[in-house]
Amino acid sequence: AKRGRNRYVVYTDELDSALAHRRGVELALREALRTGEGLACHYQPLVRAADGKVVGVEALARWTHPRLGSVPPVQFIAVAEETGLIGTLGEWILREACTRLAPFEGVFVAVNVSAVQLRDDRFADMVFDALAACGMPARRLELEITETAIVNADAATVRLLKRLRRAGVRISLDDFGTGYSSLTLLKDLDVDKVKIDRSFVQMAPTADDSAAIVRAVSNLGAALGLRVVAEGVETEQQRVFLREAGCDELQGYLFSEAVTEDRIESVLGGFAAA
Ligand code: C2E
Ligand code: CA
Ligand code: CA
Ligand code: CA
């Protein structure tokens, strides 16, 4: 009994310190959002599978804190979602990315959007404001929404996405293959793009089931008029497989990791800022 009790004490101590850590992260993030200090937006190119030409970039949030160090996005995004800070963070990223990429005509900008942001009915207007403020046409913006978020979308979210779509904003289903969405849903929502989750992409050249999934998604995309992207491409073998499987665009360390804003020009190569 005594040992059990000790275990229990240890357990709550660990829980307390985990909660304290979380609270610490929350406060630090709140401060970063207030001052803008330590927050950055990095950009990873997406290339056309056919010829390797850069066609767009994905904005990825980065945060470095003086004491916490560099905090992984999955960690601070989760805290932001739980605390409601994701609205402010998401708006900051969107404005930052659109402002930075606006001069590069012909390049699209993909921005990740959390399911929590889609529950705010002011979201669409915020997006239109951001586009207007930097003079970027709506068709150059892609909102990446995870398949899981879409599967669980309520009627209000579906209306919101349709409103964005009608204005020309493109919708891309992120982490596709992990969320069990249906064909009907893809058609109903009129999405433009699916991004095959990197777990399938990385296994595809060697594992038959992953290869079958990639080929099936790619055929599905062609049949529904969707563009298909493979993310997490790391090897030449994967690139060759994915191109032959019919993927339209590729993204991954093989081409480039996400780069700081001052390296955008070098990554975009042929594109000169207008
Ligand atoms: P994601 O949207 O699936 O983004 C792709 C992640 O894969 C990024 O990690 C990227 O750096 C990484 N990646 C890219 N190429 C490769 C590759 O070849 N191999 C491997 N192993 N990884 C690759 P990152 O930047 O750590 O972001 C992780 C996740 O955090 C993102 O996954 C996204 O869900 C979330 N996230 C990042 N920035 C934002 C943001 O501004 N807003 C929201 N809501 N979520 C964000
Ligand atoms: Ca993404
Ligand atoms: Ca993804
Ligand atoms: Ca992923």
pLDDT at residue 235, as a whole number: 96
Sign of the four-CA dihedral 81, 85, 89, 94: positive
Sign of the four-CA dihedral 18, 63, 231, 105: positive
- CA 103 from centroid of its chain's CA atoms: 22
Do the bridges between strand 108-113 and strand 69-71 make them parallel or antiparallel, or are there none, so unpaired?
unpaired
One-letter amino acid at 144 equals E
Cα 51–191–272 angle (5° rounding)?
A: 40
The pLDDT of residue 169 is above 90: yes
Between the CA of 156 and the centroid of ligand 4 the distance, in Å, is 25
pLDDT at residue 236, as a whole number: 96
Average pLDDT, the chain: 90
Sign of the four-CA dihedral 233, 65, 76, 122: negative
Hey, is 40 helix, strand or coil? Answer: strand
From 29, 60, 79, 231, mutation site for ligand 1 pocket: most ligand atoms within 8 A of C-beta: 60
Q: Are 202 and 238 in contact (CB under 8 A)?
A: yes
One-letter amino acid at 8 equals Y
Note the ligand closest to the C-alpha atom of 89.
Answer: 1
Between the CA of 231 and the centroid of ligand 4 the distance, in Å, is 8
pLDDT at residue 173, as a whole number: 92
Between the CA of 181 and the centroid of ligand 1 the distance, in Å, is 21
- Name the residue with the closest Cα to ligand 1, atom 2: 112
Note the ligand closest to the C-alpha atom of 142.
Answer: 2
Neighbours of 274 (CB within 10 A): 8
pLDDT at residue 242, as a whole number: 96
Between the CA of 9 and the centroid of ligand 1 the distance, in Å, is 37
Hey, is 140 helix, strand or coil? Answer: helix
Note the ligand closest to the C-alpha atom of 58.
Answer: 2
What is the number of the ligand 1 atom nearest to the C-alpha of 231? 15
What is the number of the ligand 1 atom nearest to the C-alpha of 42? 25
Instruction: Pull the structure tokens for residue 26.
Output: 């929350």
Per-residue pLDDT tens for 86-136? 999 999 999 999 999 999 999 999 999 999 999 998 999 999 999 999 999
- Ligand 1 is surrounded, with C-beta below 6 A, by 44, 60-61, 72-74, 77, 90, 93, 112-114, 144, 174-175, 198, 231-234, 252-253, 258
pLDDT at residue 149, as a whole number: 85
Task: Supply the pTM of this predicted model.
Answer: 0.93
Contacts of 39 by beta carbon, 8 Å cutoff, 6+ apart:
32, 33, 61, 62, 63, 89, 92
pLDDT at residue 3, as a whole number: 54
Mean pLDDT of all residues in 2-30 = 75
Distance of alpha carbon 255 from alpha carbon 45, whole angstroms: 8
Do the bridges between strand 170-176 and strand 193-196 make them parallel or antiparallel, or are there none, so unpaired?
parallel
Distance of alpha carbon 191 from alpha carbon 195, whole angstroms: 11
The pLDDT of residue 1 is above 50: no
Between the CA of 4 and the centroid of ligand 2 the distance, in Å, is 44
Note the ligand closest to the C-alpha atom of 254.
Answer: 1
